[in-house]
Amino acid sequence: MSSTLFQTLLYASLTLCGLGLLWRVSAWFRVRIGPDAQEVTPSQRVATLIRGAASALFGRQLFRFLGAFFLDVLFLRRLYANEKLRWLGHLLIVVGFTVLVLMHALAPVVTAKLFPGYQPTLAPYLFLRDFLGAMVIVGVAMVHYGRWRRRNGFSTTRGPANAAFMVLLTIVLASGFLLEACKIASPRAFYRMTEEYIGSTDPEQLKPLRALWASEFGVAFGDLREPIDPMLVEQGRELHRNACAPCHAQPASAFVSYPVAQALAPVMGFLDRSGADAWLLYLHLFACFIGLASLPFTGFFHVLAAPVGLLLNAAPQNLVLSASNRASQRALALDACVRCGICDVRCSVAPLSRYLGNPGLLPSHKLIATGALANGQLLRTGHEYDALRAADGAFLCTDCGRCTSACPVGLDLEDLWDAERGDLAAAGLARPAQWVQARPAFTWAESLEIDSAKRVISDADVSRVPLSADRSVFSRCVQCQTCTNVCPVVAHSIDSGHGVDLTPQKVMNLLRLGLRDLTLGSRMVWDCASCYQCQESCPEGIRVADIMLELRGLAVQRLGSVRSWRQPS
Amino acid sequence: MTRAKQDSCDVAIIGAGMAGMAAALFAAERGLSCILVGNGGSLLFASGLLDLLGVHPVAERRRWRLPYDALVALAREEPLHPLARINAVSIRSAFQSFVAALGAAGLRYAPLGERNRNVLTSIGTIKATHGVPISMIAGADLLDALDARPSCLLVDFRGLREFSAAQIAATLGDRWPRLRHQRIEFPGYEAAAELYAAHLARALETGKTRERTIALVKPLLGDARAVGLPAVLGLARAGEVHAAFEAGLGVPVFEIPTMPTSVPGLRLLAALEAAVSARGVRRRHHATVRALAFDGEGGTATLALDGAAGGVRARAVVLATGRFTGRGLTADRRQIRESILGIPVHQPGSREFWHQRDFLDASGHAINRAGLLVDEAWRPLDAGGEPFWPRLYAVGSILAHQDWMREKCGSGLAISTAWAAMQHVARQLRGTAAG
């Protein structure tokens, strides 16, 4: 490759990468998430952060940041605490890739300066390059296995940009190994070198050297007949010592490329004629440049955002909690999330999410929705149903905080969800308890009956037979009123003069009559405190409280499929 | 996943109704370690009155004033009746022990004595029973002195649909001319269309509501020598509420049980739960027995429980699973089965003999006398007439040859058979307790 083309491409991709990084980083101060974020201007956010960082960096706080840098950023302490396998995989990728970039990609400016005798074809570099590449491959495999093992049945939140970036990475690694293998096995490369260093390309004259390089360096001469004479090899060694050895070690230590080279031997003649080493090099470099240029535009931007987030966490509380910095941290969270999905696995409402068939309850999906809400994508016309489902997801969160404590990047997700709900409410979206109870129970039942054109979720769509559809669960009810008698919600509502519309035993009776839809919007179902006194006391052992809980879930599903956009609330 | 736990004990009792609770109490008092399986929900259908034996023979509907005389007649005429097989000393001890345990748990009963007492029901009929809670005893005393035409006031609450003072007064009017009735608003619930007894009972545990209610009743007293109220005078603090009413009104106050499920049922359940847990009985609430297996004649029994409740290993097992409502017995198209082990059930030869032609036939129905046959040690028998397993016992209404509803002997049957069976359990376990 001509150095002009190389440099043009290098600088072009560096420029793109730099502009992209600027754009993405500026979003940390531009994007507004949460009602309190609307009050702060981007310049205020930048100023607060700089002031805070300056005061923190030139005080005792510095040690906290250093600690966070080594433990959180380099050692990935939080990931280690949560998932050992993915931690190991991630560490292999980071170490492998970083050292490859320094030792191999930046060889002229780093390795050659540090080790004056550096040649890529000498030990231990032959081995190291393969070793680091293999580390990355094994690491990627481990991370993907870890993800696969924790799959939850919902589509992944990693977008096509990430997939494309993974393909690029694969091309870089594969072309690297193939290029290395070609260079080892190529007779053409052999003759190019002998011409330069010995001044000959004559096969007869080079016979002893050829014998040595064929038997110990893996060059695949098409015209060489087995077996090779050991005497000839020893003769070649002399020439080799003078002409080749200063720059060439035996490539067998390249434990990936060397076997590949041997496998390529039968087709080496063809590969040489087609100029394989050249186009593999182009491929390798192009993929590297495209990867460099596109890095800021994929989820892999987290390599910058996540460490920044982790370092910010080490800042003192007053700095973290200021409204202005909180706004920036939320925007940063959108970028720092690595889409690992550990939060989804830990999520308390993940079972509900599966039950409702709504991935919008899962933290990783909520994070995407939060971003989409902030940039206006979520509320665009034509996608109202998605917005309503996303809102259900946001509002059904129980704020248990398990996502936050599990997040390997240390994101304050609870704060993010709180802000998201504030924005959703400001946009006129309500929590299920509100939108369901905005209409009386019987009008909901009518809507379900009338709205047959719309797709109403039926029990067949639910993963298991609901309790409220299983006659054996409630048919034993003798309407003895024990549930109503012990219900503190009924007692309180009578006490306060706002009686519930149905008592628990009436809900059971409606189920017995096959009128379940009438219960879905009822105040009894929605005001149920889940204290389980009814279920504990029922002489017939009916799971009254479990049914109440399930009816709320069914209401979100079934009524959600017939509700209209922006119901009066 | 947590592994299902496997506990062991001397005696596992299946069923936590009246009989199961009594068996657990008596087992614990005899120093046996005990696990009680099932929830006590069926106790909510109880009225708090403890019947011993009120009617015998059923066909004649003969009511007995002295239950122990009735037991003598029963032993003579129906020797297979479970109660006929227990001596009077045991029955007295069983009742005393049971009532003492309830008293210690806060549910006090009037001294038992030798008599059956008459009490008012919520529909105005009079029922003979043996154990009467303190909160209801004033009513029984009044009925004893009915010849003296005592003046009495019955009060009910608007909105409490299950209790009508007017109906009781109308039903009893001929025999009790000076029985008056009044309806009042329950303070604080004026806006409510419908009232529920347990809510009122809880509300009366607050001093303010109590005082306002007493203030509403007091002007209505007139010359009344006693006041009858629906049984809503407190739940956990019932004794305190009742005493406050008597002090505030200056006359005896008595409760009349409401329709099941009632506040006295809730109190009885709470008291029994407190009593068994105070005696160290372990509970497996809401568990149903999926399977019961025996490890040889001399070994242990293993109960497999539903769901996460785990299993139980026991040296002896007591079936207190009740009849049809307790689901100890299951009736299908052809026959009646014992639900857990399929123990042979004593029953009419075919379904056509289950019931009389007339639903209200005075002699009752044969199906209501179906149940398990037991040997002298209360062990259910297999088809060959031998004990099903050497340490498997059956108590309460699952036993054959009794019609406890018509004979008014439900509590007596439960408490007495539990006592008698537990004597045998203790004796047998001590005999085998070498290991």
DSSP string, A55-115: HHHTSTHHHHHHHHIIIIIIS-HHHHHH-HHHHHHHHHHHHHHHHHIIIIITTTTTHHHHS
Whether B70 contacts B53, CB under 8 Å: yes
Which helix (H) or strand (E) segment holds residue B336: the answer is strand B336-338
Question: Which of A485, A486, A494 minimises the CB distance to B189?
Answer: A494
Residue A242's pLDDT is what? 85
Q: How many CB atoms are located within 10 Å of the residue A2 CB?
A: 7
> Are residue A170 and residue A257 in the same domain, yes or no?
no
Does residue A286 fall inside a structural domain?
no
In B306-345, the residues whose Cβ lies within 8 Å of chain A are none
> Are residue A173 and residue A189 in the same domain, yes or no?
no
Strand B392-394 vs strand B311-319: parallel, antiparallel, or unpaired? parallel
Question: Which of A482, A491, A540 minimises the CB distance to B202?
Answer: A491
Question: Which of B44, B202, B288 minimises the CB distance to A537?
Answer: B44
Which CATH code, of 3.50.50.60, 2.40.50.140, 3.30.70.1400, 3.30.1490.190, is assigned to B6-53+79-104+267-431? 3.50.50.60
Q: Which residue, among A473, A475, A482, would best test binding to B if mutated, counting the most B CBs under 10 Å from its CB?
A: A482
CB contact under 8 A, B198 and A540: no
Tens of pLDDT, residue by residue over A67-117, are 889 999 999 999 999 889 999 999 999 999 999 999 999 998 899 888 888
B197 touches chain A (CB under 8 A): yes
Sign of the dihedral defined by the CA atoms of residues A424, A427, A428, A429, in that order: negative
Encoding tokens for residue A495? Answer: 């006490």
Question: With helix as H, strand as E and coil as C, how does B348-370 read?
Answer: CCCHHHCCCCCCCCCCCCHHHHC
Q: Which residues contact A19 (CB under 8 A, 6 or more apart)?
A: none
Q: Give DSSP secondary structure letters for A382-396.
A: T-HHHHHHHHHHHHT
CB contact under 8 A, B39 and A541: yes
Distances (CA, A) of A196 to A254, A276, A379, B350: 25, 21, 67, 111
Q: Which residue, among A477, A479, A485, A536, would best test binding to B if mutated, counting the most B CBs under 10 Å from its CB?
A: A485
> Are residue A172 and residue A200 in the same domain, yes or no?
no
> Are residue A253 and residue A117 in the same domain, yes or no?
no
- Percent with pLDDT over 70 in chain A: 95
> Are residue A451 and residue A424 in the same domain, yes or no?
no
Does residue A133 fall inside a structural domain?
yes
Whether B75 contacts B84, CB under 8 Å: yes
Q: Which residues of A touch B192 (CB under 8 A)?
A: 494, 497, 499
Alpha carbons A213 and A186: distance in angstroms, whole number: 11
> Are residue A220 and residue A363 in the same domain, yes or no?
no
> Are residue A50 and residue A90 in the same domain, yes or no?
yes
Tens of pLDDT, residue by residue over A409-437, are 999 999 999 999 999 999 888 888 888 88
- Amino acid identity, position A57: L
Helices B88-104 & B67-77 angle (0-180, nearest 10)? 140
Does residue A318 fall inside a structural domain?
no
> Are residue A403 and residue A552 in the same domain, yes or no?
no
Helices A323-336 & A3-30 angle (0-180, nearest 10)? 140
Residue B434's pLDDT is what? 40
Which helix (H) or strand (E) segment holds residue B337: the answer is strand B336-338
Q: Looking up tokens 């005429």, which residue turns up?
A: B77
Does residue A293 fall inside a structural domain?
no
Interface confidence (ipTM) of the complex:
0.70
Alpha carbons A201 and B53: distance in angstroms, whole number: 121
Distances (CA, A) of A381 to A62, A384, A392, A426: 49, 6, 18, 17
Give ranges for CATH 3.40.50 in chain B. 122-256
| Mean pLDDT across chain A | 88
Does residue A317 fall inside a structural domain?
no
Q: Which residues of B touch A497 (CB under 8 A)?
A: 191-192
Q: How many CB atoms are located within 10 Å of the residue B184 CB?
A: 14
Size of interface A-B (CB pairs under 8 A): 56
Q: Which domain holds residue A425?
A: 341-429
Residue A569's pLDDT is what? 41
CB contact under 8 A, B261 and A538: no
Based on its alpha-carbon atoms, the radius of gyration of chain A, rounded to whole angstroms, reads 33
> Are residue A273 and residue A350 in the same domain, yes or no?
no
Beta strands per DSSP E along B134-270 = 152-157, 179-184, 226-230, 253-256
Q: What is the DSSP letter of B254?
A: E
Which CATH code, of 3.40.50, 1.20.1740, 2.40.128, 1.10.1740, is assigned to B122-256? 3.40.50
Residue A443's pLDDT is what? 87
Residue A547's pLDDT is what? 95
**Which carries the bigger pLDDT value, residue A372 or residue B4?**
A372
Average pLDDT across each block of 10 residues of chain B; the chain has 435 residues. List them in order. 70 96 97 92 90 95 95 96 97 97 96 95 93 96 90 95 93 91 93 88 93 96 95 94 97 94 92 95 87 86 79 94 92 92 94 90 92 97 94 97 96 98 94 52
Question: With helix as H, strand as E and coil as C, how does A530-561 read?
Answer: CCCHHHHHCCCCCCHHHHHHHHHHHHHHHHHC
CA distance from start to end of chain A: 67
Question: pLDDT-derived band of residue A312, with 50, 70 and 90 as boundaries?
Answer: confident
CA distance B221 to chain A (A): 27
Q: How many domains does chain A have?
A: 4
Tens of pLDDT, residue by residue over A337-370, are 988 888 998 999 998 888 788 899 999 999 999 9
pLDDT mean over A232-240: 88
Alpha carbons B227 and B153: distance in angstroms, whole number: 5
Encoding tokens for residue A350? Answer: 């993940």
Whether A521 contacts A440, CB under 8 Å: yes
B236 touches chain A (CB under 8 A): no
> Are residue A249 and residue A365 in the same domain, yes or no?
no
B42 touches chain A (CB under 8 A): yes
**Which carries the bigger pLDDT value, residue A224 or residue A240?**
A240
CB contact under 8 A, A497 and B192: yes
Q: Which residues contact B355 (CB under 8 A, 6 or more apart)?
A: B365, B366, B367
Alpha carbons A23 and A297: distance in angstroms, whole number: 9
Whether A327 contacts A47, CB under 8 Å: no
Question: Which of A485, A497, A538 minimises the CB distance to B191?
Answer: A497
Q: Which residue of chain A is at minimal alpha-carbon distance from B44?
A: A539
Does residue A459 fall inside a structural domain?
yes
Task: Count how many Cα atoms sit within 13 Å of the Cα of residue B117 in the half-sphere of its side chain.
Answer: 24
Question: Which of A485, A536, A541 minimises the CB distance to B196?
Answer: A485
Q: Which residues of B touch A494 (CB under 8 A)?
A: 189, 192, 194-196, 199
Q: How many CB atoms are located within 10 Å of the residue B308 CB?
A: 11
Give ranges for CATH 3.50.50.60 in chain B. 6-53+79-104+267-431
- Amino acid identity, position B219: P
> Are residue A24 and residue A172 in the same domain, yes or no?
yes
Residue B34's pLDDT is what? 96
Question: Which of A482, A495, A536 minimises the CB distance to B261?
Answer: A482
Please check the confidence at residue A166 and state whether its pLDDT lies above 80: yes
Whether B73 contacts B406, CB under 8 Å: no
Q: Which residues of A touch B193 (CB under 8 A)?
A: 499
Q: Looking up tokens 């995989």, which residue turns up?
A: A89
Residue B435's pLDDT is what? 37
Q: Which residues of B touch A540 (CB under 8 A)?
A: 41
CA nearest neighbour of A487 among A521, A441, A530, A526: A530
Whether A314 contacts A37, CB under 8 Å: no
Task: Count how many Cα atoms sit within 13 Å of the Cα of residue A469 in the half-sphere of its side chain.
Answer: 11
Does residue A506 fall inside a structural domain?
yes
CA distance B192 to chain A (A): 6
> Are residue A376 and residue A238 in the same domain, yes or no?
no
Does residue A252 fall inside a structural domain?
yes
